[in-house]
Amino acid sequence: MKILARLPLYTGVSVFVLSILVTAVVVGQRGQLTNQQASATKGEASLSMIFVSPSTITVTLSTKRSVAGVDATIQYNPQEITIISSTLAGGPSYSTTGGIDNQENGTFSFSSIPLEENGAGIIASFTVQPKVSGTPTTTVLSFIEGGKTKVLEKGSLEDILGGTRGVTATL
């Protein structure tokens, strides 16, 4: 009789313990999925362009790895804008060379090497101007991927570029 009197108590405790175990397993599996997604993009680098009014384009690099150098080729519309290659300047912790403007193909290429161990930050900036001065011009600049734009890891010299983001500029 005593066992039957305590049966609801034992059943309740059993259900409670079982629900805690099931919850722990489900939460643990979610953590594993999240960690797998994070590790898939953890080692990649990302290049972005930012338009700073009135006419400056800034190129930034985001990465957690050490970088040996960056080769960037930017596509633009040569009928809309001119890139003034003489204004190419490195960021605070980068030295920039090149600045080759190919007006026929609408490409602008340069290389940057880091002066410090950390690779993230502003790697370069340059000035653009509209073909027709005094006329508001909206144009798009984008990186050419597929071997022309690279971020090389220090040591292995492996291309770690994971993605790029261009910019729309209104001059």
Domain range for residue 101?
45-170
pTM of the model: 0.71
Closest CA to 150 of 41, 44, 78: 44
Whether residue 109 sits in one domain with residue 162 = yes
What is the pLDDT, as a whole number, of residue 31? 44
Whether residue 53 sits in one domain with residue 36 = no
Q: What Å distances lie between residue 117 and 51, 98, 99, 114, 120, CA to CA? A: 27, 22, 24, 7, 9
As for how many domains the chain has, the answer is 2
Among residues of the chain, what percentage have pLDDT more than 70? Answer: 83
Contacts 24+ apart (CB under 8 A), 99-105: 99/126, 103/78, 104/78, 105/78
Token pair 């291309």: residue: 159
Mean pLDDT of the chain: 82
Whether residue 53 sits in one domain with residue 37 = no
Whether residue 68 sits in one domain with residue 25 = no
Whether residue 1 sits in one domain with residue 79 = no
Q: What is the pLDDT of residues 32-90, one digit of tens each?
A: 433 333 333 446 899 999 998 888 999 999 988 889 999 999 999 999 999 999 999 99
**89 or 30: whose pLDDT is higher?**
89
**Mean pLDDT calculated for residue range 144-164:** 89
